[in-house]
Structure 1
Amino acid sequence: MSHSADYSKTSRDTLDSPEGLADRIAEILECPITIEDANHRIISYSKHDKNVDEARIATIMRRSVPEDVITSLWESGVMSRLFESNDPVFVPAIEKVGLGNRIAVSVHKHHDVLGFIWAQTNDTTITNEKMSLMKDAAKLVKNQLHQHHLKKKQSEESYQEFFWQLLVGHLQQPGEISQQAKRFGLAFGNSLCIAMIEFGCDITPTIEKHAYYLIETLYQPYAVCRIFNENQLIMLVNLESTPNPNNKLKTLIQDFIQKLTARLNIGHVKGGFGLTYDSPENMKDSYRQAMKVLELKEQLPDSLQHVYGYHELGIYQFLQDLNAIRNRDNYRNDAIERLRAYDKKNGSALVKTLHAYLDCDSNVHNAAKQIHVHTNTLNYRLKRITDIGEIDLKDTNQKITLYLDLLIEKIND
């Protein structure tokens, strides 16, 4: 009897029932089966005996695969193979996350992964026949997963216009926002903000697919809405019941960028987020703030390398406004101009030295280390700076003004 003949006995009622289909596949393969969507949420699972591993129990209880299991499957290379191939993959046990031996196969439609079938094979000998039967099973569940995929896609497309209206401030009435949110099944909490990921390249279908995958599998409790716009991923994030929301969101963004860049081997990805508010009508403000973080990170990559939140910007929040005032008044800092003229004539680096000294909060040792000179050399240059620039480095007002003007010059470079 051919492999397909094993499934040909499957009735139409079983095909239309996710649970019945999982049971039928389990019966043929003689092992417990789990059918998941592309984001590792359970579509159905078969009946099983008591001898099942911790990962299967946790998945069934949560209705989705635990984060540590997903991370381990990526680290072991299993997920990469499943995304790239239609063929079944043998998955050796990963004891640290309670995962026993598996056979897994992805369900594809054209170039899209619709979901996965997982067979726990701890008590089963894996044969070539079972591998072939897994491939046949993927064909059998394709239609159900495709319908699930279409419904989810339609739901996402329906709320995108609503999300944009929040971002640009076209929706300001709480009652209308609440009504729209209810219509699209969106749950807003009391700790909301906008987070953004910006790519240094065009967003390809592969980047979009993996970004959505990460959001759905690892960050689903937080990401309420998401949308791509040109080279940016914009998310409305709910941090309700999170003890330290700013720290949590910073960690999530760092983790998201690390995972995405590692899996796709891309660089120049940065992230930022705005302030947290207790109502969705303030998302226009959080969106503007998140964009400012990304803009300043582009202009000052070294200074803001470890900054993600608008609240972390400090005086950098005001540089663009100060720059506009300086331009309006045709202002120039005479002390800096004198130092720059001296540098140009003598090939020195007094302006650079002053910036490092101020950037390091007047710490001579740290500043010397930053520009790779000896402390004696830096002290000598500081004396030249005070003489040539006519600067009093003990005057706090002068130092703050000099530092701000040097930063403004950098965003104009």
Structure 2
Amino acid sequence: MSHSADYPKAFQDTFDSPEGLADRIAEILECPITIEDANHRIISYSKHDKNVDEARIATIIQRSVPENVITCLWESGVMAWLFESSEPVFVPAIEKVGLGNRIAIAVHKHQEVLGFIWAQTYDTTITNERLSLMKDAAKLVKNQLHQHHLKKKESEASYQEFFWQLLAGHIQLPAEIRRQARRFGLELGDPLSIAMIAFDGNVTQTIEKHAYYLTETFQQPYAVCRIFDQNQLIILVNLESVPNPRKKMKAFVQDFITKLAERIGIDYAKGAFGLVYSSPVNMKDSYREAVNVLELKDQFPSALQHVHGYHELGIYQFLHELKAIRKRDNYRNDALERLKAYDKKNRSDLVASLHAYLACDSNVYNAAKRMHVHANTLNYRLKRITDIGEINLKDPNQKITIYLDILIECMEHGDL
């Protein structure tokens, strides 16, 4: 290696391509180099000999860092360091994902991460001189990554209006939708779905930064585009070639929330997704369904705690429509009204007990546990319910009807 005094001069050379820049850094540091944008997509990489690890090979083939490698780097604390610091860091090998020893540095501009430089160091001794060279390389790469960052932001701004038109159903022809998508470089596959992440309170720059980062680093399913609407993140998801799309969408939403919680301490986000459709024309429907799921999760936080997909709602899918019908017809369930009147007069819990019993599929033991009472106590209440409400709890039609009306009451007044 040449004397360190020569490096500043070497880094001042002009380069006719991003690859030429990566090759020059690799030559100076004497190890293979990868330059990535802020979402781990390759900008350029240097030539290398045969002694490279599996993670580097997979990254070059996919043109982005594999998702399992990114996850391990977060778990090890490396990514958290890089997002907060402009100093280089030594990354020990992670054998389970084929990652060898690395030196890494994040390229920052005004507190924003523009990208990363990764140097595969084999078993080379990590000296202060080598770490200093990584910082010089980051300064050299900053302008290139900044230009890439500006182009990406311009692209995102340009597709926002198209995305809103898609969600509103203003574009009705599939061919026109796909034509406009190609214009903005969006890959619409088949099938597609809309996912939504709702945050409790204002969305900070930190939340927005990490939420966008996650949409870019998930590789299957693939997030085509995303946009924030007040405190909600809306994501168009491409599920092409994904086995069991509904199961994968649920995992996508759950993983998204889990990773936000792990990385920035956000534990108050809710996730939802609409049905999976083969045509982009139906994204307005998937969006409306995802919104419906979020609204119902707010109204029934306990019952729908683990529900994310519209298809998982069951009878909850129809509550808004049924509520509108009941209101239009000025309908009241006489049995339920009698039970409510009895509860009010006697300060009892017959309606709540009936709700728990029906929600637990008529299982007395589970319902009693939910109500924190003895099973004999609940059996006594059920007898009072049948007498006062004049309800036959062995008749499924009566049970379903009063259960739906109890849920509508919960929508209007909260848990009973």
TM-score range, shorter chain: over 0.9
Aligned to 2:7: 6
Aligned to 1:58: 58
Distance in 1, Cα, partners of 2:118 & 2:322: 58
Provide the alpha-carbon RMSD of the alignment: 1.7
Distance in 1, Cα, partners of 2:26 & 2:75: 28
Q: Is the 8 A contact 1:222 1:237 kept in 2?
A: yes
What is the CA deviation profile of residues 191-224 of structure 1, one whole-angstrom value per residue up to 9, with x for unaligned ones?
A: 1221111111211111111111111112475211
Aligned to 1:68: 68
Shift of 1:4: 7.2
Opposite residue 365 of structure 2, the aligned amino acid is H
Give percent identity, aligned residues only. 75
Aligned to 1:239: 239
Distance in 2, Cα, partners of 1:221 & 1:375: 46
Opposite residue 18 of structure 1, the aligned amino acid is P
**SS of the residue 1:116 aligns to:** strand
Shift of 1:406: 0.6
Question: Gapped runs of 5+ residues in structure 2?
Answer: none
**SS of the residue 1:242 aligns to:** coil
Q: Is the 8 A contact 2:221 2:242 kept in 1?
A: no
Distance in 2, Cα, partners of 1:4 & 1:292: 64
Residues 1:276 and 1:372: Cα distance change in structure 2 (over 3 Å): same
Shift of 1:168: 0.7
Aligned to 1:137: 137
Aligned to 1:19: 19
Distance in 1, Cα, partners of 2:176 & 2:202: 35
Shift of 1:341: 2.5
Distance in 2, Cα, partners of 1:70 & 1:93: 13
Distance in 2, Cα, partners of 1:294 & 1:230: 14
Aligned to 1:361: 361
> Any residues of structure 2 matched to 1:192-207 within 5 Å, and which?
192-207=192-207
Distance in 2, Cα, partners of 1:66 & 1:134: 23
Distance in 2, Cα, partners of 1:358 & 1:86: 58
Opposite residue 282 of structure 1, the aligned amino acid is N
> Any residues of structure 2 matched to 1:391-410 within 5 Å, and which?
391-410=391-410
Aligned to 1:117: 117
Q: Is the 8 A contact 2:203 2:231 kept in 1?
A: yes
Distance in 1, Cα, partners of 2:49 & 2:193: 45
Opposite residue 292 of structure 2, the aligned amino acid is K
Distance in 2, Cα, partners of 1:152 & 1:326: 50
The normalised TM-score by structure 2 is 0.95
Shift of 1:178: 2.7
Q: Is the 8 A contact 1:368 1:378 kept in 2?
A: yes
Residues 1:10 and 1:266: Cα distance change in structure 2 (over 3 Å): closer
Shift of 1:293: 0.8
Shift of 1:3: 5.5
Q: Is the 8 A contact 1:3 1:132 kept in 2?
A: no
Distance in 2, Cα, partners of 1:338 & 1:388: 7
> Any residues of structure 2 matched to 1:77-88 within 5 Å, and which?
77-88=77-88
Aligned to 2:349: 349
Opposite residue 124 of structure 2, the aligned amino acid is T
What is the CA deviation profile of residues 102-146 of structure 1, one whole-angstrom value per residue up to 9, with x for unaligned ones?
A: 111000111210100111122311011111111111001001111
Work out whether 1:323 is the aligned partner of 2:323. yes
Shift of 1:292: 0.6
Distance in 1, Cα, partners of 2:62 & 2:405: 54
Q: Is the 8 A contact 2:220 2:242 kept in 1?
A: no
Opposite residue 348 of structure 2, the aligned amino acid is S
**SS of the residue 1:39 aligns to:** coil
Work out whether 1:41 is the aligned partner of 2:21. no
Q: Is the 8 A contact 1:93 1:100 kept in 2?
A: yes
What is the CA deviation profile of residues 17-65 of structure 1, one whole-angstrom value per residue up to 9, with x for unaligned ones?
A: 2112112212222222111111111111222222222211221222211
Q: Is the 8 A contact 2:93 2:101 kept in 1?
A: yes
**SS of the residue 2:212 aligns to:** helix
What is the CA deviation profile of residues 59-106 of structure 1, one whole-angstrom value per residue up to 9, with x for unaligned ones?
A: 122221111110000001100000001011111111211112211100
Moved more, 210-219 or 16-25: 16-25
**SS of the residue 2:34 aligns to:** strand
Q: Is the 8 A contact 1:272 1:291 kept in 2?
A: yes
Distance in 1, Cα, partners of 2:408 & 2:315: 11
Aligned to 1:182: 182
Q: Is the 8 A contact 2:196 2:272 kept in 1?
A: yes
**SS of the residue 2:119 aligns to:** strand
Residues 1:410 and 1:2: Cα distance change in structure 2 (over 3 Å): farther
Tell me how many residue pairs correspond in the alignment. Answer: 412
> Any residues of structure 2 matched to 1:212-291 within 5 Å, and which?
212-219=212-219, 221-291=221-291
Distance in 2, Cα, partners of 1:39 & 1:174: 30
Opposite residue 300 of structure 1, the aligned amino acid is F
Residues 1:9 and 1:240: Cα distance change in structure 2 (over 3 Å): closer
**SS of the residue 1:194 aligns to:** strand
Q: Is the 8 A contact 2:203 2:230 kept in 1?
A: yes
What is the CA deviation profile of residues 278-307 of structure 1, one whole-angstrom value per residue up to 9, with x for unaligned ones?
A: 211221111111111111111111111111
Distance in 2, Cα, partners of 1:65 & 1:175: 33
Opposite residue 384 of structure 1, the aligned amino acid is R
Distance in 1, Cα, partners of 2:356 & 2:104: 55
Opposite residue 233 of structure 1, the aligned amino acid is L
Distance in 2, Cα, partners of 1:222 & 1:312: 22
> Any residues of structure 2 matched to 1:366-385 within 5 Å, and which?
366-385=366-385
Distance in 2, Cα, partners of 1:166 & 1:317: 23
Aligned to 1:388: 388
Distance in 2, Cα, partners of 1:221 & 1:295: 25
Distance in 2, Cα, partners of 1:262 & 1:341: 47
Distance in 2, Cα, partners of 1:300 & 1:336: 19
Distance in 1, Cα, partners of 2:165 & 2:306: 31
Opposite residue 8 of structure 1, the aligned amino acid is K
Q: Is the 8 A contact 1:4 1:133 kept in 2?
A: no
Q: Is the 8 A contact 1:4 1:136 kept in 2?
A: no
